[in-house]
Structures are given as C-alpha cells and as structure tokens.
Structure 1
Amino acid sequence: MQNREQVTQAILVAKVQKGITWQQVAEQVGQSKEWTTAGCLGQMTFNAEQAAVVAKIFDLDENAEAWLQVVPYKGSFTEAVPSDPLLYRLYEMINVYGSTIKSLIHEEFGDGIMSAIDFSMDIQREENSAGDRVSIGLSGKFLPYKSY
C-alpha cells in the first residue's frame, strides 16, 4: 500500500534513473512544465488521462496512478523557515519585499488578495553576461474582499 508522499518519492527516483526533464514530462502530459512539476511533486491533481501518462512515464502501478488523481493537501514547507538554500532565498524575498508587494497590489487593485488557485507561473532562464538570471513570473487573479 502506498500514500501520496511515497508516490512522489517513486516519481523522483524514476526521474533520476531515467534522466528525463520536467519539460519532457510536461510535453507528454500536455500542460506547462510548472503545473506538471507541481502535480508530480504532489501539489496538483491529475485527471485520469494525465495520471495514466505520468504513471506510464515513471513506471507506476495502478495504486500510484489512483493517488495522482486524489486532491492533495496543499503546502510544501514542512518547517517554519525552509533550510534548503533556494527555498530560503524565496522565503527571504517575500520576507524583505512582501510588504512592498502587498502595498503596491492594494494601491493598484484595492483591498484583496492574489489568487494561488486562478494562477499561473512561468520560470525561465535569462542569459546575462554577468551570470545567468532566474526569472519567475507569477500571475494570479485579483480577488477583492467583499462587504456584507
């Protein structure tokens, strides 16, 4: 018997063993590399067709394929402040610039939030003579607070 975390681990092991990229998986699934990766890491729900493709790519059994279709518990941090250097830097960016981002969103849109449900993300490499840069684009629907 498996659980979703074990399915994620099986995917990661198979990915390394097969030497495939998330982009290659996404092309077969038919979704963006960002969304497909989130699904493979247990943060999104695959439909039956997508789950079958992922199961085939990673040689997963029917039990694992079923877990890919279960709505996951969202959230990837298992500690208050992440210790992984890359995740820590993202956390640090929000810690340093979070109030600025919040203030600018409120000034532009009003009192509300940026959705992480009606959302897209784009991660790209920017070539730069001083060293390549990581470009992360986040786009979420603005959801205003309502009066009642």
Structure 2
Amino acid sequence: MNHREEVTCKILTEKVKKGVSWQQVADLIGKSKEWTTAGCLGQMTFTSEQAEKIGELFDLDENDVAWLQVVPYKGSLPESVPTDPLIYRFYELVNVYGTTIKSLIHEEFGDGIMSAIDFSMDIQRENNPAGDRVNIVLSGKFLPYKSY
C-alpha cells in the first residue's frame, strides 16, 4: 500500500467515526460531491486550501495533507473483474452496452472519445413509486481523433 492509499484509509476511518457525509465534505471545500468523493478516495488532486480543510475535518497530519495535493495514480479498481456487486454492475453495463454506447457516440459525433478529464458527473436519487432509482449523468467533452 502506498502512502496515498494510507491517507484514503484514514479519511474513510474518520468519515465513519464522525458520521460525515460526502456532501458535507464537498460543501466544506466548495466542489461537487462527486468530484470531492473521487478526491478523498485518491483519484483527484486537491489545492492547498482544499487539502487543509479536509485535513482539519479528518484530523490528518501535515504529511497526509501534502499527499492530498500530489497528482495521484489514476485507476482505483483492481486489474481483474471487480467483485463488489455495485461496481460489478458498472462493469456489466459497459460489457453489455459498451459497443452500443460506442456506436451511438460515433454515429452522432464521429471517430473519437468522450473525455474523462474534461468531465462532470451528477448522481441523484430519483423518487419512483415502484422503487427509487439511481440517476447518473456522465458528461464528457467529445475529443475527435485527428489525422496526421
């Protein structure tokens, strides 16, 4: 385990101990709950000001706060098929609908990709009498492949 993973473990431990929600952390630093959560889980880089606030909230030391400001290694999933049921459903979704999504994006935009860098995500509860639904909106800039 690298030190950034240790900082993530400290954050998660303190989050549970203090009963803090991701929305509360996001409100503290002025960012979306989605981006803030990704950052606290080790996938984004915080500014000095953001890292200090997170450090105070989660009782992190100055070394931990410094690690929150280091560009992380991206990719939080294991290299094999994920076993967590919720994460596996996203794997399954891409496995089943990936070629459909790719085909429809190429038909609409041309040959290219959806950016995960120039990107936003919104996760909301959608009330439904048949059972509440998870509404996830992923919005990424289209980046066309260039000829050269």
Same fold per TM (> 0.5)?
Answer: yes
After TM superposition, the structure 1 = structure 2 runs for residues 14-93 of structure 1, keeping only pairs within 5 Å, are 14-93=14-93
Residue 79 of structure 1 deviates from its aligned partner by 3.5
Deviation at 1:16, TM superposition (A): 0.1
Report whether the alignment pairs 1:94 with 2:91. no
Partner of 1:146: 146
In 2: Cα distance, 1:75 partner to 1:97 partner: 21
Residue aligned with 2:17, SS: helix
After the TM superposition, list the runs of 4 or more consecutive aligned residues in structure 1 that deviate by more than 6 angstroms.
Answer: none
Query: Which residue type is aligned with residue 124 of structure 2?
Result: Q
Partners of 2:37 and 2:57 lie apart in 1 by 13
- Partner of 2:141, secondary structure, is strand
1:75, distance to aligned residue in structure 2 (A): 0.3
> Structure 1: 5+ residue runs without aligned partners?
none
Unaligned runs of 5+ in 2: none
Q: TM-score, structure 1 length as denominator?
A: 0.98
1:130 aligned partner, one-letter code = A
Q: How does 1:120-131 map to 2 (within 5 A)?
A: 120-131=120-131
Residue identity matched to 1:132: D
Q: Give the superposition deviation at 1:78.
A: 1.3
Matched letter for residue 140 of structure 1:
G
Amino acid at match of 2:89: R
| Percent identity over paired residues | 75
Q: What is the number of equivalent residue pairs in this alignment?
A: 147
